[in-house]
């Protein structure tokens, strides 16, 4: 994500490269950079003459090279955008161009779904003479920060619970999340500036009362009744509440507790102060001091001996959620069983 933001700034500052190879599994970042380049390099009047868009499935490498070697009409340079490059026939032959690009052409190559062969002459030419951007699916802990920035860019803020509801439901696919957020931004009432769990429930269909955020909250506060009630809801709606996602959410919470407990023990042993909330934010990869303080409060209810056993249980039920030694139990039965074992430790 940092590289994506750096490239955006370079393009906005009109520092262009002769070649852009935008490749990888996450299409969202590729599309945004391609759109920014398409809108920024040439003026609106120039685009009709000097901006060409071709598609991999309808072209071959020789045709693309020939286009790039053409001289611009009534301008200093032309832009050639190659979309769906992963479908281009004989893509390796683009190396004839990437190893010696024209000074009057900017070539933008959008290669989705996977990376190009990094051993190829084509790739090495892009590295030597242009910019290569590898678009990867963000890690779980990176999604929250990106979402907050994305939403802030539309003049909105989002509650932490609403943020967790979104990421639990949509996973780490930036493209899916962006689509849902665009729909949500359009449907928000005029003048609204804050996205809440109610907005998520109303517009995206995720229950504000029965979700992983509420389940983790109930478990960590040792509210067995509330936890089992949410588990029963999950059992009745298994498609909307995959057991694996729930286990991952619980594992993340107890891993944080284990880390804070350990750091507290280490500080006492060495006669040193506990790391500051700011330092814990960095260690736990949390978005705010408020979240860190919540974790610290919860450690009183969960000593590390118990937390260690729970982490073992979560690993065991992670395997069961994938069909290993589950005894044919449903996801709902496994979750209820797991929660009871946690509370009875």
CA distance 76 to 211: 56
How many other CB atoms are there within 10 angstroms of residue 217's CB atom?
19
Q: Domain 212-344 adopts which CATH fold?
A: Zinc Finger, Delta Prime; domain 3 (1.20.272)
Total-model pTM:
0.69
CATH architecture of 140-204: Orthogonal Bundle (1.10)
3-class state of residue 114 by DSSP: coil
Q: Residues 105, 99: contact at Cβ < 8 Å?
A: no
**CATH numeric code, 2-135:** 3.40.50.300
Q: Residues 97, 107: contact at Cβ < 8 Å?
A: yes
Residue 86: predicted pLDDT: 96
Q: How many angstroms from the chain centroid is the CA of residue 173?
A: 6
Long-range contacts of 124-128 (CB under 8 A, 24+ apart): 124/95, 124/99, 125/19, 125/94, 125/95, 125/97, 125/98, 125/99, 125/100, 125/101, 126/19, 126/21, 126/98, 128/99
Helix, strand, coil percentages (3-state) for the chain, rounded to 5, are: 60, 10, 30
Listed by start position, the domains of the chain span 2-135, 140-204, 212-344
Residue 219: predicted pLDDT: 96
Q: Residues 174, 150: contact at Cβ < 8 Å?
A: no
- The pLDDT tens digits along the chain (345 residues) read 678 989 999 999 999 999 999 999 889 999 999 999 999 999 988 998 999 999 999 999 999 999 999 999 877 889 999 999 999 989 999 999 999 999 999 999 999 989 999 999 999 999 999 999 999 887 777 777 778 888 887 788 888 888 888 887 777 778 888 888 888 878 888 888 888 888 888 888 888 899 999 999 999 999 999 999 999 999 998 888 899 999 999 999 999 999 999 999 999 999 999 999 999 999 998 878 888 999 999 998 999 999 999 999 999 999 999 888 888 899 999 999 999 999 998
């Amino acid at each position: 994500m940092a590289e994506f933001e750096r490239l955006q700034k370079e393009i906005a500052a009109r520092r262009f490269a002769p070649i852009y190879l935008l490749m990888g599994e996450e299409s969202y970042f590729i599309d945004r950079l391609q759109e920014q380049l398409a809108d920024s390099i040439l003026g609106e009047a120039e685009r009709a003459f000097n901006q060409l868009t071709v598609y991999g499935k309808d072209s071959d490498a020789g045709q693309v090279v020939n286009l790039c070697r053409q001289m611009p009409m009534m301008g200093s340079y032309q832009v050639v955008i190659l979309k769906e490059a992963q479908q281009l026939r004989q893509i390796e032959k683009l190396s004839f161009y990437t190893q010696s690009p024209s000074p009057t052409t900017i070539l933008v190559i959008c290669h989705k779904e996977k990376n190009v062969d990094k051993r190829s002459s084509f790739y090495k030419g892009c590295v030597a003479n242009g910019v290569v951007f590898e678009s990867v699916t963000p890690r779980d802990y990176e999604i929250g920060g990106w979402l907050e920035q994305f939403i802030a860019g539309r003049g909105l803020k989002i509650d932490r619970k609403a943020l967790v509801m979104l990421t639990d439901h949509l996973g780490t696919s930036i493209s899916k999340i962006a689509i849902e957020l665009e729909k949500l931004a359009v449907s928000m009432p005029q003048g609204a500036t804050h996205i809440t769990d109610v907005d998520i429930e109303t517009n995206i269909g995720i229950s504000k009362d029965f979700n992983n955020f509420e389940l983790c909250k109930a478990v960590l506060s040792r509210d067995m009744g509330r936890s089992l009630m949410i588990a029963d809801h999950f059992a009745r709606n298994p498609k909307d509440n995959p057991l694996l996602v729930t286990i991952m959410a619980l594992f993340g919470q107890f891993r944080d507790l284990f880390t804070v407990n350990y750091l507290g023990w280490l500080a006492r042993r060495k006669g040193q102060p506990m790391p500051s909330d700011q330092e814990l934010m960095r260690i736990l990869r949390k978005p705010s001091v408020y979240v860190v303080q919540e974790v610290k409060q919860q450690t009183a209810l969960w000593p590390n001996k118990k937390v260690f056993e729970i982490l073992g249980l979560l690993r065991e039920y992670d395997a069961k959620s994938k069909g290993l030694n589950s005894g044919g139990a449903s996801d709902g039965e496994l979750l209820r069983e797991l929660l009871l074992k946690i509370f009875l430790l």
